[in-house]
Structure 1
């Protein structure tokens, strides 16, 4: 009896995320990653154009990361973090606090983006509860996405992702996506009942790569700050130079009180989440009354190997070579999007830093067949691209070569020609 392939074995035992298992094409069996490439078991290479769900910044298989992770694994692979500490966690917290956009003093570790947001929401709500101040309502932006746990779903857009769970989600007040010169949509005094405002700064990722102006957001944040509303920046996607600066909040004058990080935090190597807060928030939990403790934790909180991967990724990102490459990608995207204007089937080409996006004319529904058509079109040209409905975006690892970027761009031009011919 012939041995089963990896895909056949997968089909018997795996349930893939965000995947309709009855109709989705069989997954590609990946056996190796190298730089901006992923290789399947047949030896075919695919350009990782979406950075493996936006996590990979430094490229696959970076030797320095592998070396330091192995060294850390031999020294200490994990320990409980409730009553113990270790060098990688402390050092990473120190380095992040130096660079975060605001006056942060405390780092709370978790293990992914959704949980970093969950921590932030609980932190903000309990901040007021511990002081006996009745501020329980939350503000968020329409069209946002903050994760798949119940708190993070509650503050995100109601969609096909959340429909079965809506009876269980708490109520949130949604503000429209800020537009240039748009006044704050609520009466300022009404904000005194709100605990926090959570937002994805400057660009909403899963909501369709929707970009909005820093100036308007700044004005809204200033109003919220005047009324004591805690500001939570979800930088899970935007952190670590995706927007051209280290953090999207570096474009803002008004800095957040709480910031959520994950994805690029470890360069795409291991799961790790961070929720950073100011000393004012931390102090609201200090008490002889143990009921004011922040009772939240994860088994793998501050995993030493993951913290080591994050420290190494920071070292790599801050080298001159990577800093220059990030700005080079920004410039390359500008030329690419300019050329897209020659194709009437491509709409609203836009860019923020290393993120380039546009819409393909057609059904915008996330579950529409157009999304599958676009995915397969790119895949057949050696490009791994996972469109958001009819929204196509390019967000590659920063180590991508000019030739690999051009292959993505050429596949897009071929898509435009095919769509024009088709109509």
Structure 2
């Protein structure tokens, strides 16, 4: 019996309507940028498996570091205990984070990193005897699948059945360079009519909104307004973090730095699940008290798992290496060259790029999970490239180790796919 047939007996996959999509592709091996299925077919992983394996699958530098740690310390409770990998990770990460970040809180995945960021923002005001109950977020944002993260997300395709149970959230448009005055008036109105605790946002690129990119100047304006109003700013860098925008973090492109940053995905190079919520000393100080009730009572069994911390340390070393930085620059230039030829195609409506993130919109209306989208996915896989269209948007976010030859194949397959649209 094939792996696919065995899979159908008991497994329930994420973001899947199994009656419409009964088959899953069984992957048996991964190395570098290549995934291999149970039939020996190979695919270039052009989205780094949801933006996690940015240094390539089974990166030997990361795996060897973790193998060494496995012989020393595998897991220990992080409440009342500490260990070298967590301490070292905090020291190295603080060096590359925005200057105002000073404290690190561990969890398990991007959604919970955002959940903790929201709880920090709400409890910051609560602990200061100034209870506030409203959050601001962008239209079409996506921040995860736990309830706080769903509340600040704006994509009802994911959240529809649960919307009656959400936190109070007011939405504003993303800045596009032309709507700054409208956004500012909206913010002023929201702040005057509501007790606004925080603003949760994806800086520069909204991933699940089909790599929707927004204006730096406009985001700076929003962040400055929030700072002036003591509205806690929570940057969801789960997708954008660790080099994808051309800098270590998208927030480093901005003048105004967030109070709180949420990190996961490429944090461990895709090897192990882990997330972080970092914050400024200002946020931490509101929880530092003789009153035990003012502490942040949130915890995960695998918080600061030593193996995951070791993988993250190795990943940060790779991120800062000359080789990876050269590769990031190379990929950015390759995308720019591809853009020149693809943007004039009659079936391409729009193209956009931030760092190594490249996206194009097809000149056709498509359901996010419709038949045409499925046809495109099938075409890509049949031609040896793993791309996962978001509606009529095709995007690339490949591992930093991808070769020029592999990138050119990705580009070629995208161009060829336009014939079926």
Q: Which TM-score tier does this pair reach, normalised by the shorter chain?
A: over 0.9
Q: How does 1:366-405 map to 2 (within 5 A)?
A: 366-405=368-407
2:170 to 168, 173, 178: 173
Alpha-carbon distance in 2 for matches of 1:45, 1:292: 53
Alpha-carbon distance in 2 for matches of 1:313, 1:249: 19
Alpha-carbon distance in 2 for matches of 1:197, 1:342: 38
Does structure 1 residue 185 correspond to structure 2 residue 182? Answer: no
CA contact under 8 A between 2:134 and 2:167: conserved in structure 1?
Answer: no
Deviation at 1:190, TM superposition (A): 5.0
CA contact under 8 A between 2:107 and 2:113: conserved in structure 1?
Answer: yes
Match of 2:336?
334
CA contact under 8 A between 1:258 and 1:276: conserved in structure 2?
Answer: yes
Match of 1:51?
48
- SS of equivalent to 1:370: helix
Q: How does 1:75-94 map to 2 (within 5 A)?
A: 75-94=72-91
| CA distances 1:322-356 after superposition (whole Å, capped 9, x unpaired) | 10000000000011111112311111111010011
Does structure 1 residue 66 correspond to structure 2 residue 63? Answer: yes
Alpha-carbon distance in 2 for matches of 1:173, 1:77: 43
Two-structure CA RMSD over aligned residues (Å): 1.2
2:230 to 228, 231, 236: 228
Q: How does 1:85-234 map to 2 (within 5 A)?
A: 85-181=82-178, 182-183=180-181, 184-186=184-186, 188=188, 190-191=190-191, 193-234=195-236
> What 5-or-longer segments of structure 2 have no aligned partner?
none
CA contact under 8 A between 1:189 and 1:227: conserved in structure 2?
Answer: no
Match of 2:33?
36
Deviation at 1:290, TM superposition (A): 1.1
> How many residue pairs end up in the alignment?
416
Alpha-carbon distance in 2 for matches of 1:18, 1:124: 29
| CA distances 1:357-416 after superposition (whole Å, capped 9, x unpaired) | 011232332122121111111111000111111111010000001111011101011112
Alpha-carbon distance in 1 for matches of 2:37, 2:396: 21
Alpha-carbon distance in 1 for matches of 2:370, 2:168: 29
Alpha-carbon distance in 2 for matches of 1:319, 1:358: 30
Match of 1:325?
327
Alpha-carbon distance in 1 for matches of 2:343, 2:297: 52
Alpha-carbon distance in 2 for matches of 1:251, 1:364: 33
Does structure 1 residue 26 correspond to structure 2 residue 28? Answer: no
**What TM-score comes out, normalization by structure 1 length?**
0.96
Alpha-carbon distance in 1 for matches of 2:322, 2:381: 33
| CA distances 1:151-188 after superposition (whole Å, capped 9, x unpaired) | 00000004111011111112201011112142213253
Match of 1:270?
272
> What 5-or-longer segments of structure 1 have no aligned partner?
none
Deviation at 1:101, TM superposition (A): 1.6
Alpha-carbon distance in 2 for matches of 1:190, 1:46: 48
Distance 1:189 1:7, change over 3 A: closer
Match of 2:318?
316
- SS of equivalent to 2:158: coil
Deviation at 1:316, TM superposition (A): 1.2
Alpha-carbon distance in 2 for matches of 1:177, 1:190: 16
2:285 to 263, 283, 306: 283
CA contact under 8 A between 2:350 and 2:362: conserved in structure 1?
Answer: no
- SS of equivalent to 1:348: strand
| CA distances 1:252-290 after superposition (whole Å, capped 9, x unpaired) | 000000000000101111111000001111111112221
2:302 to 300, 306, 322: 300
- SS of equivalent to 1:66: helix
Alpha-carbon distance in 2 for matches of 1:168, 1:151: 10
Deviation at 1:189, TM superposition (A): 7.2
Relative to structure 2, which stretch is displaced further, 176-185 or 313-322? 176-185
Alpha-carbon distance in 2 for matches of 1:188, 1:135: 16
Relative to structure 2, which stretch is displaced further, 172-181 or 75-84? 172-181
1:349 to 337, 341, 351: 351
**What TM-score comes out, normalization by structure 2 length?**
0.96
